[in-house]
Structure 1
Amino acid sequence: LLQENYKAWNIAKVRNLFSKDVAEKILEIPLVSSVREDKVVWEEERNECYSVKSGYKLAMRYIIDSDKYHVVGNWNGIWKAQAPHKARHLLWRLCRGCLPTRSRLLERRVECTLNCPVCDEEIEDELHIFFRCAVARDSWSAAGLSSVLHNATYQQTNAMDRIFVVCSNESSDTVGRVTMLLLCI
């Protein structure tokens, strides 16, 4: 749409390509008089130069902000639990779906049997390991937390939702005890 090697509209070309109204609007657009050569600028760095570090940070920011990786829940309840960091980290991994249960391993095409190696009664997933397995239920009773395990309020269909509800409704001390129990299981 511009003249070859010259900073002006190619009027004939603009009028041939567009309707009269559109062509006139295009031709009214003023062109910058000074012509500088284009240059690539990376806005994520002050010096405007790309670095792998800034590219990685941008990619991570994009990934973390996407809905795919955003999980709504009571994350503060997990981190405020009266328990060691590694126990709270277990809860975080449980809620993020990062534990290598047999059902998760199979999703990632790792060949293994699906049933729980402890009771061999159900598929080993987070809900079974921590809440439904006979050994887990015995552990809840031995820890004096069977009232939390059997509370009708906490009968969600997945372990993540169950943990978030417990964190929202119980004291940080009780959540800490539950967290330590899950770590021991």
Structure 2
Amino acid sequence: MFWWPSNDGAYTVRSGYWLCKKVPAVLQGVDMNEVWRLIWSMKCPPKLQHFLWRACKGFLAVKERLHYRHITPEKSCSICNASEESINHAIFECKAATEVWAASPLFSQVSAAPSNSFVERFLWYSKNVSKDELLSIASLAWAAWHCRNKYIFEQEAFNAVDVARGWVKYVKESLEYAVRTGIKSALCCV
């Protein structure tokens, strides 16, 4: 047997790590460098950029990921009892999320996007909607995630549409404030 990533043909942790860093983006058909540039060049609060990056990398703590890491025994959604709570499900398909999207003027774009993974969906949006619409979609995704967490961890009654409206307003006001004051560090690439 010969391990091709190393010079001498023997497996090392270093060569395995190198392979894992290089191959997954090619195997998934997604250029993560493109995703990275897209997210970190968006004119929005760094908190939103960080949320998008975690969602694209699959780092949000949904039941599917927690089950994969042997933290929780089941993958089903705590809100709507769907068989699997993935990142896409939590942000776009769950009962708490559908309230946010149904009230949005971007509902048709959200419905038309591919639903294989969050990163594919996000890249599709970046190519098929304007920058302002992409910012609104990102803000609403963040709001849907917030609503999901509020429902699961606080069991609190709330109006998802009002919560979403508040998040979109927050993002727009952050951008306006950064432009007015000339603060470039508050928003990336203003």
TM-score scaled by length of structure 2: 0.57
What's the offset of the Cα at 1:111? 2.3
Give, in whole Å, the separation in 1 of the partners of 2:98 and 2:115. Answer: 16
**In the alignment, structure 1 residue 163 sits paired with structure 2 residue 122:** yes
Residue 110 of structure 2 corresponds to 149
Q: How many residues align?
A: 125
Q: What is the letter of the counterpart of residue 182 of structure 1?
A: A
How far off its partner does 1:161 sit? 0.5
Code of the residue aligned with 1:101 in structure 2: it is V
Tell me which amino acid in the other structure corresponds to 1:67: V
Matched with 1:116 is 77
Q: Which has the larger radius of gyration?
A: 1
For 1:8, the equivalent position in structure 2 comes to none
Aligned partners of 1:62, 1:113: CA distance in 2, in Å?
A: 32
> CA separation in 2, counterparts of 1:112 and 1:86?
30
CA deviations 1:145-178 (Å, max 9, x no partner) are: 2122122xx1242222111111122222111111
Conservation of the 8 A alpha-carbon contact between 1:103 and 1:123: yes
Q: Distance in 2 between matches of 1:130 and 1:66?
A: 28
Q: Map of 1:31-46 to 2, 5 A cutoff?
A: none
Report the 3-state secondary structure (helix = DSSP H, G, I; strand = E; otherwise coil) of the residue aligned with 1:66. helix
Does the 8 A contact of 1:78 with 1:167 survive in 2? no
Q: Kindly indicate whether the alpha-carbon contact (under 8 Å) linking 1:94 and 1:160 is maintained by their aligned counterparts in 2.
A: yes
Q: 1:127 to 1:65 in 2, by over 3 A?
A: closer
Paired residue for 1:6? none
User: Would you identify which runs of 4 or more consecutive aligned residues in structure 1 move more than 4 Å?
Assistant: 61-65
More RCO (CA 8 Å, sep 6+): 2
Output the amino acid matched with 1:183. Answer: W
CA distance in 2, matches of 1:82, 1:173: 10
Structure ranking higher in helix proportion: 2
AA paired with 1:166?
Answer: Y
CA gap of 1:155–1:63, structure 2 versus 1, over 3 A, is: closer
Give the equivalent residue in structure 2 for 1:85. Answer: 46
- Residues 1:127 and 1:142: Cα distance change in structure 2 (over 3 Å): same
| SS across alignment from 1:177 | helix
Q: Name the amino acid aligned to 2:45.
A: P
Give the % identical residues: 25
Q: Do 2:92 and 2:141's aligned partners in 1 also have CA atoms closer than 8 Å?
A: no
Shift of residue 69 of structure 1? 6.0
Q: Which runs of 5+ in 1 are unaligned?
A: 1-57
CA RMSD between the two structures:
2.5
Equivalences for residues 10-89 of structure 1 within 5 A: 62=18, 66-68=22-24, 71-73=30-32, 74-75=34-35, 76-89=37-50
